[in-house]
Amino acid sequence: MDKQEYSKLTDKVSQNSKSYLNIPKAFVIGGLICTLGQLLLNLYMYWGADKELASTLVSVTLVFLSALFTGLDLYDNIAKHGGAGTLVPITGFANAVAAPAIEFKTEGFILGVGAKMFTIAGSVIVYGTLASVVYGLIIVIFKLY
């Protein structure tokens, strides 16, 4: 990611610094995304999924919707208002994968779509995985299982 893309991404989320508006908007939009998640969770459990499977299906559904909205160029419009409200939920992660994949299609499927997909998501996966390994080692060393 070069400097220009980087500042573009920053601008997208911190469009202006009117915190008295930004924070409530992030709260409401993020809250609504989680409420949608809860609605889906109840729906999948109603259809017979156990809690764990339902929770996984919720993530998959939200990731799909986020990728679709990103493709339709709608996610950015919501993110303009949502700020962290569209960043912090798992939809923000999916957007971070889909947006560069679409944008860098012009650079081809190998070095564009395939590589740029992980510009931000890669970092999330790397540090999340490393943290889980550290925790796993602590469990093994101190016999916490």
* Ranges within 5-44 binding other proteins (CB under 8 A): 6, 8-10, 12-14, 17, 19, 22-42
> Residue 53 CB, nearest distance to other proteins (Å)?
10
Question: Residue 100 corresponds to which tokens in the numbers above?
Answer: 């560069």
Residue 111 engages other proteins in binding (rule: CB under 8 A): no
Q: What is the rounded distance in angstroms from the CA atom of residue 110 to the CA atom of residue 112?
A: 6
CA dihedral 64, 67, 69, 75 (to 10 degrees): 130
CA dihedral 27, 52, 70, 80 (to 10 degrees): 10
Q: What character string, x for contact with other proteins (CB under 8 A) and - otherwise, covers 70-89?
A: xxxx--x-----xxxx-xxx
What part of residues 112-131 is at the interface with other proteins (CB under 8 A)? 113, 117, 120-121, 123-125, 127-129, 131
Looking at the Cβ atoms of 111 and 132, the one nearer to other proteins is 132
> Are the beta carbons of 93 and 121 closer than 8 angstroms?
yes
